[in-house]
Amino acid sequence: MIISFLNQKGGVGKTTLSINAAYALADQGHKVILADSDPQRSSMAWASVRNNANKPLSFNVIGIDSGSMRETLTRMKQQDGYDFIVIDGAPRMTDLARAAIIISDLVVMPMQASGFDLWATDELKSMIEEAKIYKPEIIHAVLLNRVVPNTNLAKDVLADMQENGWTFFDTVIGQRQNFANAATQGLTVFEVANSKSAQDEILFMIDEILKLKD
């Protein structure tokens, strides 16, 4: 299964979610590779920090561009036997984003609970709908991320999306400092103390992804 985390808006947590999702899937025994299509190469920078600290990693991290994406990832899925290919998507609606959409089985659209994020995600949703003309089996769903606890914003945004026919994850990822603390050390929330809430949220997301796969 090829899963891409995409949104044209920066700061929505694509890299953080990609890294933690890949780790969780690999930890469950799946063969996983993380493909970094962001020109800033944030996932690869994270992997480099980890490697420099001599911390083993249970999945591979590679950089990829739009020209080689389809051929490379198709080969990895069909010939190299990867159960999951996780794409850390590029910001903005570039050729990289379009290539990621068309190769993906599932497009996860992380967004924060705000009108600005909703408008930005709406453009991505339109692009996915265009891609589905050629590949109707693409699944796409919004994932609310960096949600501030004890506010009604998330509920309001979810209600608005539901009213307008959006598909979204039941999982909501909270605004938690542990995600940032882990990333700066080349770690995931599964490897730092006092991170059970963050771990549970990632695992709930993975459970939903696995149900979609089946």
Q: Give tens-digit pLDDT for 87-110.
A: 998 776 578 888 899 999 999 999
What pLDDT score does 56 carry?
Answer: 94
pLDDT value of residue 122: 81
Q: What is the reported pLDDT for 150?
A: 65
| CATH 3.30.300.20 applies to domain 2-213 | no
User: How high is the pLDDT of residue 71?
Assistant: 87
Whether the full predicted model's pTM is greater than 0.75, yes or no, is yes
- pLDDT band per the 50, 70, 90 thresholds, residue 188: very high
**What pLDDT sits at residue 18?**
98
Give yes or no for residue 5 having a pLDDT over 70: yes
Q: Which residues contact 9 (CB under 8 A, 6 or more apart)?
A: 91, 111, 116, 117, 120, 121
Helix residue spans in 53-134 (DSSP H): 66-78, 95-103, 115-131
pLDDT mean across residues, the chain: 90
Tell me the β-bridge partners of 143.
110
Cα–Cα distance list, 28 to 38, 86, 168 (Å): 26, 15, 24
Task: Kindly tell me if the per-residue pLDDT of 117 is higher than 90.
Answer: no
3-state secondary structure of 64: coil
**From CA 52, how far away is CA 45, in angstroms rounded?**
11
- Residues 4 and 106: beta-carbon distance below 8 Å: yes
Question: What secondary structure letter does DSSP report for 182?
Answer: H
**154 pLDDT more than 70:** yes
What does the pLDDT read at residue 179? 96
In whole angstroms, what is the distance from residue 17 CA to residue 53 CA?
22
Mean pLDDT of 5-12: 84
For position 184, what pLDDT does the model report?
94
How much is the pLDDT for 78?
83
Residues contacting residue 182 through CB under 8 Å, at least 6 positions apart: 188, 189, 191, 192, 195
